[in-house]
Structure 1
Amino acid sequence: MKLKYILPVLFLVFALSSCSNDDNDTPEVNEIEGLLKIKDLTNSNHTIELFSSTGAFKTGYNAVSIRVKDIATNTYIENASITWMPIMQMPTMQHSCPYSSVSKALGKDTVYEGYIVYQMTNLDGSGWSLTVNYNINGVDYTVTDTITVMQNENQNVTSFMASDGSRYVIAMIEPKTPKIAINNLKVGLYKMQSMMSFPEVADYTITLDPRMPGMGNHSSPNNTDLSYNIADKMYHGNLSLTMTGYWVLNLKLLNAMDEVLKGEDVTTENAQSSLYLELEF
């Protein structure tokens, strides 16, 4: 065969080989990219891997990602049904906290997600445990272990008794990174039905009055009160931050009949509401 025919044939073989190799070398997707491991919970069959953006549990709202690893095969389970129960052990009693259901993360094969709102912790982070119950192909499994929950520097969650005789929990979810601008303020509101049950509360109103105690307790313009969003079952409002520093978000909680359940207006005589959250940036 003449050289002028050999070269095109070799080029075609090389091109086809390259295409084939490209198809087989598709990079594996890292489904936990950007997340940090909090802890592994292990039984004789599986390792439950817990992740978050910070790699730690703190008081307040914690978005948690979960993977279930089969110890025998070293592979991750894609078809698990998961529930969980956080418990704090007190000297004379135990209680839970607000938490979501666990569902498969959108667009991911091996990652499940939910959230937990820790309303308190011990000074050294002790006191909490987490039980994960899960089902794989009709078989039930469980694992329980202690976890560490550290105190957040600012009050991003508060638990309180309201005038209707019920205990509520309010937790700030956003902004995660506050800025000098109109920020989306997003909070969760929960009612304690029992020591183990804290369902979300719908159709209340949370009024907002942000102040800077270190700057004459001045407020800011263009804030809006928080109203319930049925899509995510959270409360949303506009938070105007006009400068960096320490802010107190003075709140009032009103029920569906506009009766004030907790909190007061900020006035010359009353510098701060009894219901508030904090942020600093």
Structure 2
Amino acid sequence: MKLKYILPLVLLVLVFSCSTDDDDNTNPVNEVEGLLLVKEIVNGNQTIELFNKKGMFETGYNEISIRLKDNTTDTYYEDAILSWMPIMQMPTMQHSCPKSAITKADGKDTVYKGFIIYQMTNMDSSGWSLTLDYTIDGMDYSLTETINVMQYENQNVASFMASDDSRYILALIEPKDPSIAINEMKVGLFKMQNMMTFPVVEDYTIALDPRMPGMGNHSSPNNTDLTYNSVDNFYYGDLSLTMTGYWKLNLKLMNSGDDVLKGEDVTEENEASSLYLELEF
């Protein structure tokens, strides 16, 4: 083969090789893809980023993702230890709310996750602060920042006194996207031990009777009561929705001895239980 044919062939191979190498340099994985930034908090050389799917905090159940950034290197920490304390400042007192521990998100290197259940807020979304304590490379840090909590349009959380003289917090978690079908219903149930502590309530039963007040208060078939799941500490049942619109999820809370602590049966004389959550789709 003549040299004039060999040189173009060599150049073609080199060009193809460089192009292939460039294709292998893929962009890094976005570990918060599908989430929206709620708040960014700067604490010296670190920035704490709070994310969820809506881009805001609301009354009820909030699943929150967290990242910690090193501002000097513009990289994210992978081995931090975090905890938090939400506080509602009232005119004469302050209190917290149900919350989870913060753990590393499954399959993520830089994302941590947990949940907070805000049982109330002020009309202007003010009143709450969030204290974050964290440890990086053996060094402890702490910060407190005010946050806004919006009022959810329907009642997705209930705070109530029961017949056992205890205050409970009940929060709707699923379905987030209800449909005309039998939906998995998931709620969290917590007891107020004191103003700052809300442990999970285990092994109770929550009777379910969904009704459509605007449609003759009719119910639906194939609902099941909610029972406790010890794997994730939430309550699960079946919620049958037969049409779109506004539903009142009438509930009765019963302890492990089947004593009714809150709520009543729905009858012709009693159109709704005093314990309920709301859903509209």
Task: Tell whether the structures are fold-level matches, with TM greater than 0.5.
Answer: yes
CA-to-aligned-CA distance 1:20-76 (integer Å, 9 cap, x gap): 2222x2112111111111111222121111111001111000011111111222221
Question: Percent of counterpart pairs with the same letter?
Answer: 66
For residues 248 and 172 of structure 1, the distance between their equivalents in structure 2, rounded to whole angstroms, comes to 12
> Cα distance, 1:7 vs. partner?
4.6
- Counterparts of 1:166 and 1:108, CA distance in 2: 39
Match of 2:155 in 1: 155
Q: Does 1:28 find its partner at 2:28?
A: yes
2:170 equivalent to 1:179:
no
SS across alignment from 1:47: strand
Q: Which residue of 2 aligns with 1:12?
A: 13
1:132 equivalent in structure 2: 132
Partner Cα separation in structure 2 for residue 26 and residue 37 of structure 1: 24
Partner of 2:202: 202
The aligned runs of 1:63-102 (5 Å cut-off) are 63-102=63-102
Query: What's the CA shift for 1:5?
Result: 3.9
- Note if 1:52 corresponds to 2:52: yes
On the 8 A contact 1:265/1:273 being kept in 2, the answer is yes
User: Given residue 78 of structure 1, which amino acid in structure 2 is its aligned partner?
Assistant: E
Flag the 1:7–1:45 CA change in 2: closer, same or farther, 3 A. closer
Task: Supply the AA of the counterpart residue of 1:46.
Answer: Q
Instruction: Compute the displacement of 1:260 (Å).
Output: 0.9
Q: Please list the CA deviations of residues 225-257 of structure 1 after superposition, one character each: whole Å capped at 9, or x if unmatched.
A: 101112211111110111111100000011111
Count how many residue pairs are aligned between Structure 1 and Structure 2: 280
Return the alpha-carbon distance in structure 1 between the equivalents of residues 3 and 71 of structure 2: 59
1:110 matched to 2:104: no
- Aligned residue for 1:38, secondary structure, equals strand
Aligned-CA RMSD value: 1.2
Which stretch has the larger CA shift, 64-73 or 202-211?
Answer: 64-73
SS in 2 for 1:244: coil
Aligned to 2:22, the other structure's residue is in SS state helix
3-state DSSP of counterpart to 1:17: helix
Structure 1 SS opposite 2:20:
helix
Q: Is the 8 A contact 1:57 1:148 kept in 2?
A: yes
Aligned partner of residue 37 in structure 2, secondary structure: strand
Gaps of 5+ in 2: none
What secondary structure, in the 3-state scheme, does the structure 2 residue paired with 1:115 have?
Answer: strand
Corresponding residue number in structure 1 for 2:165: 165
Q: Match for residue 266 of structure 2? A: 266
Query: Once the 2 structures are TM-superposed, how far is the Cα of residue 9 of structure 1 from its aligned partner?
Result: 3.2
The whole-number CA distance in structure 2 between the counterparts of 1:38 and 1:11 is 50
Provide the secondary structure at the position in 2 that maps to 1:9.
helix
Scaled by the length of structure 1, the TM-score of the pair is 0.96
Distance in 2, matches of 1:42 and 1:84, equals: 16
Q: Which moved more, 1:251-260 or 1:10-19?
A: 10-19
Tell me the secondary structure at the aligned position of residue 206 of structure 1. Answer: strand
Rounded to whole Å, the distance in 2 between the matches of 1:178 and 1:87 is 31
Secondary structure in structure 2 of the residue aligned to 1:50: strand
CA distance, structure 1, for counterparts of residue 41 and residue 269 of structure 2: 51
**What's the CA shift for 1:8?**
4.2
Judge conservation of contact 1:42–1:143 (CA < 8 Å) in 2.
Answer: no
Kept after mapping to 2: 8 A contact 1:41/1:144: no
CA contact (8 A) 1:220 1:241 kept: yes
Residues of 1 paired with 2:22 and 2:243: CA distance?
Answer: 55
Q: Give SS of 1:26's match.
A: coil
SS of 2:270's equivalent in the other structure is coil
